Each structure stands twice: as structure tokens, then as C-alpha cells.
């Protein structure tokens, strides 16, 4: 099991992404257990339980974008205002397809923390 955790500079906690090992949704915990969590985590799977391009693309769609849109709406910020994302140097975070998906949302400025800084 891998858990992806993220927080905001203002102290907000984004929903976790839980990555289970397996090839189908059958490896996920029961829905009532997941639904009891607040905030509800994004539950997914990969062959090895590691974060992959597919799980990170799901993370953008299911966690990052909804969180940022909700915060902007609550604070009355304009839609064109971008949010800063800081990522470590994990290989998936540097893949062109992942970065392209983030840039396509037009919501983020992306920066990387050097490998020696995490």
C-alpha cells in the first residue's frame, strides 16, 4: 500500500490517494470503509502498489483539480489565479505526459524540490 499525502501552505489537507497492489478494483477496501473517511481518499491500484503515471493522472483529476477549484471558490479568488505545486524528483513527476496534464488544467505553476532536499 502506498499513500500519497499533500498539504497546502495555509494548513489545508488534501484527500489522500491510496494505491493498492493489484490489477482490479477488487483489491480495494470495502466502500463503506472508504466513505467513512473525511476527507474521502482517492483509492486506486497499480501492479506494484507504487505510484505510476496512471495513478498520478488520476490524482490530478480526482484530488488536485477539485481541491484547488474548491479553495478558489471559497476564498473568492479569480479562476485565472494559479496555484504553486511543489514536487519531489520522483521519475513520474518529471514525465512529459504528467506535466502536460497539469499544464492543460491551466491551474498550476510547477516547481521541483531538488532530490537532495527531500
Q: Say what the pLDDT of residue 6 is.
A: 94
Sequence-ordered alpha helix ranges (H) in 7-95: 31-35, 53-59, 65-75
Q: Say what the pLDDT of residue 23 is.
A: 94
Low-confidence spans in the chain with pLDDT less than 50: none
Residue among 29, 31, 32, 5 nearest 16 (CA): 5
Q: Say what the pLDDT of residue 68 is.
A: 95
Q: Say what the pLDDT of residue 116 is.
A: 82
Q: Say what the pLDDT of residue 76 is.
A: 96
Q: Which residues pair with 110 in a beta bridge?
A: 85
Residue that has been written with the C-alpha cell 490524482 in this structure? 59
Amino acid at each position: 500500500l502506498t499513500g500519497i499525502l499533500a498539504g497546502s501552505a495555509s494548513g489545508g489537507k488534501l484527500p489522500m490517494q491510496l494505491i493498492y497492489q493489484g490489477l482490479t478494483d477488487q483489491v480495494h477496501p470495502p466502500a463503506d470503509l472508504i466513505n467513512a473517511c473525511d476527507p474521502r481518499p482517492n483509492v486506486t491500484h497499480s501492479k506494484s502498489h507504487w505510484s505510476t503515471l496512471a495513478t498520478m493522472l488520476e490524482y490530478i483529476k480526482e484530488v488536485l483539480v477539485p481541491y484547488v477549484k474548491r479553495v478558489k471558490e471559497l476564498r473568492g479568488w479569480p479562476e485565472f489565479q494559479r496555484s504553486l505545486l511543489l514536487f519531489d524528483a520522483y521519475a513520474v513527476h518529471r514525465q512529459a505526459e504528467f506535466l502536460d496534464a497539469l499544464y492543460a488544467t491551466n491551474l498550476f505553476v510547477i516547481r521541483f524540490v531538488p532530490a537532495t532536499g527531500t
